[in-house]
Amino acid sequence: MKYDIVLFGATGFVGQLTAEYLVAHALEGARIAIAGRDRARLEALGTALDVVVADAGDKASLKTLAESARVVISTVGPYLRYGEPLVAACAAAGTDYVDLTGEPEFVDLMYLRYHEAAKASGARIVHSCGFDSIPYDLGALFTVAQLPDDVPIALRGFGAAKGTISGGTFHSAVGMFGRIKEAGRVSRQRGSAERHADDGRVAEGRAVRGEPGRPHREPLAGGWVVPVPTIDPQHVLRSARLDSSYGPDFSYSHFVVTGGLLTTVGVGVGVGVALTLAQLEPTRNLLLRLKKPGRGPDAARRARSSFRVRMVADYGPGSAGERERLITEVRGGDPGYGETAKMLSESAFALAFDGEALPQRGGGMWTPALALGQPLIDRLIRAGITFEVV
């Protein structure tokens, strides 16, 4: 391979932050390149990295890109619109792939269309290697690693973040809101496919399930919490289905910490309005005009941003009140951008350089926990993200 890592989408907002992190933290001698459709804009970044010209709409250029690299990073979204050709190219070439998507429909479609091809070629396709869904998926893995692997575990995840979103993230979110029915249909198709696949079923004698939860005041999380149907519980539950260390009976509930009751009500109303407006093209287009892609918070705003994911595990036999309890936390800085660039880059470093230390699952579409596991947790701790028992 000509390159260890190629970053596709380096001129976007998160792409630039990721390029900067790769340059600052790569091992000496690592062969890294940046890729996109505009050579002049790539060269203007001044990274001193090799430049590869490739376009999401040009399959031949993506084939060449995939065949030149051990690992490809993609920051080009919305992924449902732009992401599939690169996944297809990597699955065919046997090239490992990571992205930062939080789009469930995209992830499910890629599984249905390319999991078998990736298995055959040896490509490890790992979606959601940013704030979606590293703190939750690896936070759950870190938590169950502290527990016996032969007892029931009821895990609840509470995420709190202080920050803002970029135009690209906003456009992806509006796109998801407008495709609720389509996403549900694809999710059911994937569920059926996994139940019939040897590498998708829960082992006999084990039970893994999601618990929907309800809005409530939660002292352990520091305020009111609401359940949210993000991609994070999807990854946590798939990791649990395929890893027996999550115990014989595992459940997971996923919440966002909203703070006070009035804020909680306001969040609910705001999400409801956005969902309604996103269903029709004219009102959806009005929403999309609120933020332009490629723009995000400045360095000062990012420096004031942070996140905390608290995992509460009740484990052991008996009813909830009789079980033992363990609480862990994953904490870091600016969640959507600075820390996402870090998580994404360290995921690529792990695939490129950690070799046999990684879980040996072969090719296919895997969650971050299943593909990268403890070696990525170790990398992120060294990079300044906290994983600890509290």
The predicted-structure confidence for 292-303, as pLDDT tens digits, reads as follows 665 677 788 888
The first and second tokens of residue 360, run together, are 């040996």
Q: How many helices (H) and strands (E) would you count in the chain?
A: 16, 15
pLDDT bin (cut points 50, 70, 90) of residue 246 is: very high
Q: What percent of the chain has pLDDT over 70?
A: 87
CB 174 within 8 A of CB 287: yes
Does residue 167 register a pLDDT over 90?
no
Separation in Å, CA 321 to CA 12, 212, 253: 49, 19, 17
What is the model's pLDDT at position 155? 98
What is the model's pLDDT at position 130? 96
Separation in Å, CA 291 to CA 11, 76, 197, 358: 18, 17, 41, 39
Does residue 373 register a pLDDT over 80?
yes
What is the pTM (predicted TM-score) of this model? 0.91
* Mean pLDDT estimate for the chain: 90
CB 368 within 8 A of CB 138: yes
Q: What is the pLDDT of residues 48-99, one digit of tens each?
A: 899 999 999 999 999 999 999 999 999 998 899 999 999 999 999 999 999 9
What is the model's pLDDT at position 22? 97
What is the model's pLDDT at position 180? 76
**343 against 162, higher pLDDT:** 343
pLDDT bin (cut points 50, 70, 90) of residue 269 is: low
**274 against 234, higher pLDDT:** 234
Does residue 231 register a pLDDT over 90?
yes
Does residue 365 register a pLDDT over 70?
yes
Q: What is the pLDDT of residues 205-215, one digit of tens each?
A: 999 999 988 99
CATH fold for domain 3-131+338-383: Rossmann fold (3.40.50)
Which of 121-125, 174-178, 182-186 shows the lowest per-residue confidence on average (mean pLDDT)?
174-178
What is the model's pLDDT at position 165? 61
CB 139 within 8 A of CB 387: yes
What is the model's pLDDT at position 207? 96
DSSP string, 261-330: HHHHHHHHHHHHHHHHHTTSHHHHHHHHTTS-TT----HHHHHT-EEEEEEEEEESSS-GGGSEEEEEEE
